[in-house]
Each structure stands twice: as C-alpha cells, then as structure tokens.
Amino acid sequence: MSTQRSKAVQSHVNRAERFHTLQFRYLCVYMFMVYTPAAAIQSFFPLYYRDSGYTDAMYGLQNALLPIVGMMGSFLFGLISDKRSRIKSILMTIMLVLMVVIYFIFHVSSLWLMMGLVLLFQFLWAPVSSLTDSMVMLSARRLNQTFATIRGFGAAGFAVAAGIIGWILDLLPGESTMGWIVIGLIGCTWLTLCLIQDPRSPQYVHSEQEKALEKEQETGQAVAKQEVRIRDLAPYVMTPRFMFFIAAMIVYQMTFSFNDQYFGFLVRELNGTSFHIGLGWMLPAAVEVVIFLYLGRSRHQLRPLPMLAISAVIFSVRSFILAWTDSLVVVMLLQAVQGIAIAFFFIYVAEYMMDTIPDKFRASGQAVLQMIMSIGAAVTGSIIGAYLYHHYGLEGLFVTGGWLLIISIGIFLWAERLEVNTR
C-alpha cells in the first residue's frame, strides 16, 4: 500500500511539474503576443488620428476622455473578474469584440464616429492590460516564477512589433494597413490565450504544498468562495504610506501621457519616418527585455519605492535633454536609456502591489490603481500636455515633464520613509 501511495504521489508531482513547465511557456508566449498590438496602438495610432484630420482640440478632447473610459472598463471588468473568480474567459470575450471595433475604426469616414469607436476600443483595451497583469501575478506565484521574468517577454513582443510595424508601414503606406495588422495581432493573441489555464480555475493543477495550504484554508473558511466586497479593500489602500505612493504615481505617470501622445510628433518634427518612430519604441522595449530577465532570474530583493525613485531620475534627465536636442540620433539613444526606467517602473510597481494587496483582491486592486491613475494622471496629463503643446511646443512639454518627475522622486522617498517607520 505504501509503495502504491508513493508511486501515486510521485506521479502527481511529475504531472504538476509538467503542467507548471508548460503553463510557464504558454504564459510567456501570451505575454509576447499581447504586447504586439500595444506597440501599434501606442506608437502609431496618435499619428493616424492626426493624419485622418483631427484638430488639436479634437485630439486633446480624445486624450482627456480615453483615460476616463479606460478606468471605467478596468474597474467594471476587474470587479466582474473577482466576483466570478475568472480571468481567461473574460479576456477572450473582450478580444473578440476588440477585433470588430478595430475594423470599424479604420473604415468610417466621420471623425466624430471614429472618436466614439476609439473610446469604445479603450473601454475594452484597458481591462486587457489590467487583467493580464492580474493573471500574470497570480500565475507567477503558483508557478514559482517572478513577475519580471514573464513581463520580459511582453517587452520583447513590444520591441519586435514596433520595429516590424514601422518597417511595414513604410513599405505599405495606407490607413487600412495598420488596422489589419492590429486585427491580426489581437487574433494571434487570442489563440495563444486558449493554451493558458486560468489561475483562478478550480481545475488549476497545484503542487502538494499548495494543496495542503488550500485544505487548511477550507477547514477555516473557504477563501476561494468568499464574497469579494470592494469595501474590504479599503484597509489596505487607505493608509498614509499607500496614499503617498499613489500621489507619486500620479505625478510620475502624468509624464507618460506627455511621452506617449507626443513622441511621434517629436520624431516627425526632426524629419523622421514611420520606421524611426517604430525604432524609437523598439529600442526601450529591447532594453526592458534585458532588465526584466536579469532581475527576474537574479531574484534580487530590492526595495520598490527607492527603485521607483531611481526610475524617475532616469526619466527626468531624459526629458530635459529631449527638450533641447535637435538630433534624431540623440533621441534614439535616449529612448534606449528610457528602457531601464520603464523596466524598473513596471517591475517595482508590481512588486509593491503584490506586497500590499492580498491575492483575493488582485483584479480589483489593479482596477483601483488603474482608476486612480486614469483620473489623476492620464486625464490631467492629457489636458496639461495639450495646453503645453499648443502654447509652448514640445520644448515646454518636456521641460515641464522633467520638473514633475523631480517632484515624484521626492514623494517616493518620503513614502519609503513612512514605509520604514511603520515596520
């Protein structure tokens, strides 16, 4: 009997190890693919709006509304995910609708109808990002991997797509080309998602240690079945140290709006082509891959808030130089340096959130962060960015960004001081 039992246990262990290996590979492929349409959306969509006939007022209005709509989508689908304890099925449904919306964005003639479809797209696309992060955070713990390692494949996907899409758009100019590219990339992402097991699914294969832990939880109270109430999240986020973290994030991410919405304009002003725009987004993503994989494999336990302050220092120096340079080569070099800051940002925001928010609130916690960032950072950044660009040009825009980043450095360091004092 003991021999049969030991064989059964060993068989389960081998099956669990094979499952974990395959799921890790599938998750890496999915992360690579999900960031390929993001490369087109972030790098080339702003220029498409401008080339389609958007005025400065329309562009500013859309940029102000996009974060609000994205926040609403992230909050709604995050809450649904936590209530239903599902992520994968929600993501698959959203992606199918996204492909239909993209088709119509590139086949309508009315600019106001296009704006409405773009807002609908953002309502659906923002939850893809937040739910993917939630799924990766949960899966990484169960697969004994780090968030940084898996996220590195996302940066690789972004880098490859940005370079290839820029090259294709130079070879095959035309508005519909970009639309079909994005539809194809989202479709491929949907196919890779089919291979992944939802980490919240009851059928998810666990190790013996995880099963033992779940049995202990079931004897007390069934955590997996526990009703998720948003008010129960309040004690984790309504603390002075978390409030300072949020304040620093708002100031920091305002500058993301400046960069994302006007970097393509900067390249165009310096006589760059679509290839240069793609290259400008590919270089930082390529550097991100190296940083993600290094930190993921080395598993260095660094304090998140000081690392976020270092990230802001790099971004600040870059912003001041961008404001005054007229060399496209310098701009490309600065984009590569930016990759270090972006990698630090995404890794240590995720680390801080995983340390602060319990897993049962993972999707809701990400949605709350997304909501605060959308209202406080993206909307404000879009409005201020549109005003600065209209009145002071790109130089005033990037100089202001540099000073905002200096302010965020001080807030991050103060939040770290509070963090240390509360331990």
Band (204; pLDDT cuts 50, 70, 90): low
Distance CA 266, CA 269 (A): 5
* 344 within 8 A of 294, measured Cβ to Cβ: no
For residue 205, the model assigns a pLDDT of 52
- Residue 362, pLDDT > 60, answer no
- Residue 373, pLDDT > 90, answer no
For residue 208, the model assigns a pLDDT of 47
Q: Which residue shows structure tokens 């290094």?
A: 294
Distance CA 192, CA 13 (A): 26
CA distances from 204 to 16, 20, 200, 212, 359 (A): 10, 10, 7, 14, 16
Rg (CA), the chain: 22
Which residues, in sequence order, are CB contacts of 346 under 8 Å at separation 6+?
151, 288
Band (159; pLDDT cuts 50, 70, 90): confident
Band (399; pLDDT cuts 50, 70, 90): very high
* 264 within 8 A of 54, measured Cβ to Cβ: no
Distance CA 170, CA 239 (A): 50
pLDDT tens digit sequence for 225-274: 455 555 666 666 677 777 888 888 889 988 888 887 788 888 888 888 77
Matching CATH number, 2-199+229-422, of 3.30.420.40, 1.10.760.10, 3.40.50.10490, 1.20.1250.20: 1.20.1250.20
User: Which of 30-44, 137-151, 278-292, 398-412 is predicted with the least confidence, judged by mean pLDDT?
Assistant: 137-151
Instruction: Calculate ∠ Cα 309-158-401, nearest 5°.
Output: 35
For residue 189, the model assigns a pLDDT of 94
For residue 230, the model assigns a pLDDT of 55
- Residue 220, pLDDT > 50, answer no
- Residue 213, pLDDT > 90, answer no
Distance CA 171, CA 275 (A): 10
Band (7; pLDDT cuts 50, 70, 90): low
